[in-house]
Amino acid sequence: MQLTAAAHLGRALLDQHGLRDWELVFDRAKRRAGICRETTRQIGLSAPLTELHSEADVRDTLLHEVAHALVGARHGHDRVWQATARRIGCSAERCMSPDAPSVDGAWVGLCGAAHRVTRHRRPERPLTCRLCSTTFDVAHLFTWTHHGRSVAMTAGYDAHLRRILDQPALVPAGPPARVGEPMRVIAQGRYEGVVGTLVKRGRTRYHLEVRGGGVLTVPFSMAERVS
């Protein structure tokens, strides 16, 4: 939506709901679409996101913040705010739809499988790909570029990574299990005795597919082969 049209829409909604002494402003936020600043009587819209979002999304963002202004910041997203938001025509969702367009960060991370994430700030610690492994696994570490260029990370980041890489890798006792083998969980608790099929062996854990299609991640020492 064009910013001029969004400004006219915002002013109209503020006036319609009795907020004539409030001001609509634009900012450069990239992670949130709108904000209510009660102390300065301002409703803020992200200019980069407003230009990407549809009129319907911008209207919902404005009504979301208008509801905050009407009930006061102390209510947060409680039932009072939800009731007011719905009464004035807002969806009363706490966040924008995950399908709404977003602004990529300048920092781009790629794992070995080419899965991509972005950040608006320089990562402060090593991150690994959750699509490749649900647990931290250096085999799926993200490497970062900034505006498309490879850059050095901070000293703190490098020190954290060295500590991780210097840790001895845990290995299972006995011959390594193979993908496709049945294994039994021997850890005490709700999963004790559960049998699954080994679908992946990480650096420290087995990934076992169990009945129903779920996957358990189990430390090497907490699972055994089924004879």
Residue 133: which pLDDT band, with cuts at 50, 70 and 90?
Answer: confident
108-121, pLDDT tens digit by residue?
A: 998 888 888 888 88
Same-domain pairing of 13 and 55: yes
Tell me the whole-structure pTM to 2 decimals. Answer: 0.54
Same-domain pairing of 75 and 119: no
82-112, pLDDT tens digit by residue?
A: 999 999 999 998 766 666 677 778 899 988 8
166-219, pLDDT tens digit by residue?
A: 765 555 555 678 899 999 988 766 778 899 999 988 877 888 998 887 888 887
Same-domain pairing of 62 and 127: no
Cβ pair 187, 218 in contact under 8 A: yes
50-77, pLDDT tens digit by residue?
A: 999 999 999 999 999 999 999 998 999 9
Identify the top-confidence range among 37-46, 161-170, 182-191: 37-46
User: Tokens 């002013």 map to which residue?
Assistant: 11
User: Tokens 């779920």 map to which residue?
Assistant: 214
User: What's residue 219's pLDDT?
Assistant: 79
Give the structural domain span for 77.
3-87
- Cα 220 from chain centroid (whole Å): 29
List the strands of the sheet with 195-201, edge to edge: 215-219, 205-209, 195-201, 182-185, 223-225
CATH classification at residue 220 = 2.30.30
CATH classification at residue 59 = 3.30.2010.10
User: What's residue 58's pLDDT?
Assistant: 95
Strands 116-119 and 42-46: unpaired
- The torsion angles phi and psi of 13, rounded to 5 degrees, stand at -70, -40
Q: How many domains does the chain have?
A: 3
106 contact partners, CB below 8 Å, separation of at least 6: 118, 120, 146, 147
Q: Does 69 map to a domain? A: yes
Same-domain pairing of 147 and 193: no
Q: Does 93 map to a domain? A: no
The more confident residue out of 130 and 173 is 130
Q: What is the DSSP string of 47-97?
A: HHHHHHS-HHHHHHHHHHHHHHHHH-GGGTTSHHHHHHHHHTT----SS--
Quote the CA–CA distance of 195 and 199 in Å, as a whole number.
Answer: 13
Same-domain pairing of 148 and 207: no
Quote the CA–CA distance of 27 and 33 in Å, as a whole number.
Answer: 10
Same-domain pairing of 10 and 50: yes
Same-domain pairing of 13 and 53: yes
